[in-house]
Structure 1
């Protein structure tokens, strides 16, 4: 047996430092991928919702309403309602609401991405 074959065999027989077998490594890797995917989807919903509000899409449209309602639910409760009543100064209030939505949902999207990546790194096995 050559020296490289012997070294390869020794590495294969040596137990892993983290003590995980192939099944648990695969399970942890799958869980980490799911956590990251959920974080990315949440961030995407928040970003699309903010874009729809910023571009002043019709909030009575069923698709737009579904996206903005979902974004409103997953934004950590920072923005309770972004509806503006008609009347004097409505345009200025609407601009303030749009800015508030962009900031709040943008920050929430970043939090989801950072937390998702941190959890992905913690859960996923090394090596």
Structure 2
């Protein structure tokens, strides 16, 4: 009888440790996905700013796709035209894109890392 009780306790603790391990694995995977999404958003903004700085051909479909994607992930706060800082004068568009989208990329990385640390076990 005592042997059965010990076996039951061992099975219970084994089940709990397996469940905790599975939960940790799921949380780690979710944290990785969130971090990846934030990194991709930051890379999109950085690449968009680089394309504007290099005066890439906007008639090119790939260039236009990247610029449209960067406009989508800037969340309006880091908009290249009406963002946090607006430059005037020569090369204003390039300065606006580099400054605002650069800040946006940094913000995505910071938020992604914070969320990663919160979600990860």
Q: What is the RMSD computed on CA atoms of the aligned residues?
A: 2.1
Counterpart in the other structure of 1:39: 38
What TM-score do the two structures reach when normalised by structure 1? Answer: 0.72
**Runs of 4 or more off by more than 6 Å in structure 1?**
none
Q: CA deviation at 1:60?
A: 1.3
Distance 1:80 1:124 in 2: 33
CA contact (8 A) 2:80 2:100 kept: no
Counterpart in the other structure of 2:10: none
Counterpart in the other structure of 1:30: 29
- Unaligned segments of structure 1, at least 5 residues: 1-12, 83-91
Cα–Cα, structure 1 residues 44 and 112, in superposed 2: closer, same or farther, change >3 Å?
same
More helix by share: 2
Q: CA deviation at 1:81?
A: 5.0
Q: Are residues 1:52 and 2:51 paired?
A: yes
Q: CA deviation at 1:79?
A: 2.1
1:1-127, aligned counterparts within 5 Å?
Answer: 21-77=20-76, 78-79=78-79, 81=81, 92=89, 95-125=91-121
